[in-house]
Structure 1
Amino acid sequence: MRIDLHTHAKLSKATDFSPAYYEEMIAEAKANGLNALALTEHFNTRNFHEVYDNLDRLYPFNGEYYEADGLRIFPGMEVDIRETGHILLIGRKEHILEVRHALDNYTEKGSFIPFDELMTLAERYPLLKIGAHPFRVSTPLHHLEAEQLRRLDAFDLNAKDMYEYGNEVNRANVERFAAELGKPVTAGSDTHQCLQYGSLYNELHRPCDSVAELKQAILSGAYELRIADSLPLQVKASVMLKKLLKRLAQLEEPTPTLADA
């Protein structure tokens, strides 16, 4: 089972969820050989709940994952912490939504939840907790105390960072960091659009039918990291496409009139 554990459904936090756009993304994920993904949309994205409301209309849901024409979509979200950094939470949909509800007062920059409080909240549920891109310059995690970081289940080897900082350098840093904390490393493309799927993923030794099975596979090391030779090209093209799509979206916005003033 080939699964990407860090993906997004929207082009950016500021855009609305587009069913047509996401269906194109799913088609590309399948075309690139993925069997599953974790949808880790930003917790403070515009109209967060509409993402899952739309998925409920688009795809059958069996209590553990959405079945998108043969691709499994496990619920999740990406949460900012006060100390700077991002945490991926993956779990049953009702648990993700309950944690998101508890974060209603923490969505604005300057008022994000402290790491320890987030962990205490997340530990009430059987979630998979992954420290996202721990060496990203803008949102690192390596500045936190070791005893704090050990509350996480794994750390994210991220396609964007491998492109930005170099495949071998970034992988060595993340793997050394995780090993010092006694934690595994998971793969995530961190894609916001279709071209990055398949650049980096986890190949599990067997299919997982639940988040509990997925978490156990990660913790027991029953998987391999797979990095495509085309990762640099995929991410570079992805970055360029994202900029173009955002520019087109801005151009399509209605021009203010005197009546709007």
Structure 2
Amino acid sequence: MKIDLHTHAKLSKASDFSPEYYEEMLREAKDSGLDALALTEHFNTRNFYEVYSELDRLFPYQGDYYEAYGLKIFPGMEVDILENGHILLIGSKWSILEVRRKLDGYTDKGAFIPFDQLMDIAEAYPLLKIGAHPFRDSTPLHHLSPRQLARLDAFDLNAKDMYQYGCDSNQERVQRFASELGKPVTAGSDTHQCLQFGSIFNELDTPCESAVELKEAILQGKYKLHVSTDLEIKVKASVMLKKLMKRMVRLEQALSTGMSSS
């Protein structure tokens, strides 16, 4: 089972969830060769709960995943912590929504939840807990103590960071860091649109039907990392497209505002 463990459903936090946009992403994910993905949308994205209510409307949910276009979509979210890093939580829809409700008071910058407090909450649920892009300059994790980092299940080898910092050097740095902590490394594209799918992914030895099975496969090392030879061009094209699409959205909003005020 080929799975991307770090993906998004929206162009940006500020944008609304568009079923048409996400369905296009899913079709491209399937065409890229993926069998599954974890939807790790930002926990403080605009109208977070709407994302899952729309998924409920669009796709059947069975076991711990939505089924769409031949893909398994495992629920999750990406959580900002007070210490300035990001944590990926992946689990059943019920677990993710319950944990998200407990974070309602921590969504604003400067008021994010401390790492240890987030772990206290997350450890009460059967969640896969991944330290996202641990060496990203803007949101690192490597500065946390070994005691804190030991509470995570794995660390994210992130396509965006590989493109920005160099594929070989970033991969070596993340894998050495994780190895020193006795943790596995998982692959995530961190895509917000369709072009980045397939840049990096995990290939599990056997299919998983639940978040618990997914976590066990990762912890037991029953998977392989795959990095596309086209990673750099995929991410570069994705970055350029995202900038263009965001400009188009701002232009449409400006035109709409101008028409409504005239």
The answer as to whether partners of 1:63 and 1:93 remain within 8 angstroms in 2 is no
Q: CA deviation at 1:256?
A: 3.6
Change (3 A) 1:255 1:95: same
The answer as to whether partners of 2:30 and 2:69 remain within 8 angstroms in 1 is no
SS of 1:84's partner is coil
**1:117-156 CA distances to partner (integer Å, 9 max, x unpaired)?**
0000000101000000000000000000000000000000
Q: Which residue of 1 aligns with 2:25?
A: 25
Task: Name segments (4+ residues, structure 1) moved above 4 Å.
Answer: 257-261
Whether 2:112 is the aligned partner of 1:106: answer no
SS of 1:142's partner is coil
The answer as to whether partners of 1:188 and 1:201 remain within 8 angstroms in 2 is yes
The answer as to whether partners of 1:85 and 1:139 remain within 8 angstroms in 2 is yes
Letter of the 2:155 partner, please give it. F
SS of 1:3's partner is strand
Q: Which runs of 5+ in 2 are unaligned?
A: none
Q: Which residue of 2 aligns with 1:158?
A: 158
CA distance in 2, matches of 1:125, 1:22: 27
Aligned residue-pair number: 261
Q: CA deviation at 1:69?
A: 2.0
**1:183-221 CA distances to partner (integer Å, 9 max, x unpaired)?**
000000000000000000000001001100000000000
Q: CA deviation at 1:258?
A: 10
Pairs within 5 Å for 1:166-181: 166-181=166-181
The answer as to whether partners of 1:129 and 1:153 remain within 8 angstroms in 2 is yes
TM-score normalised according to structure 2 size: 0.98
Q: Which residue of 1 aligns with 2:236?
A: 236
Q: Which runs of 5+ in 1 are unaligned?
A: none
Q: Which residue of 1 aligns with 2:192?
A: 192
Q: CA deviation at 1:114?
A: 0.1
CA distance in 2, matches of 1:140, 1:86: 8
RMSD (Å), alpha carbons: 1.2
Q: Which residue of 2 aligns with 1:206?
A: 206
SS of 2:72's partner is strand
TM-score normalised according to structure 1 size: 0.98
Q: Which residue of 1 aligns with 2:46?
A: 46
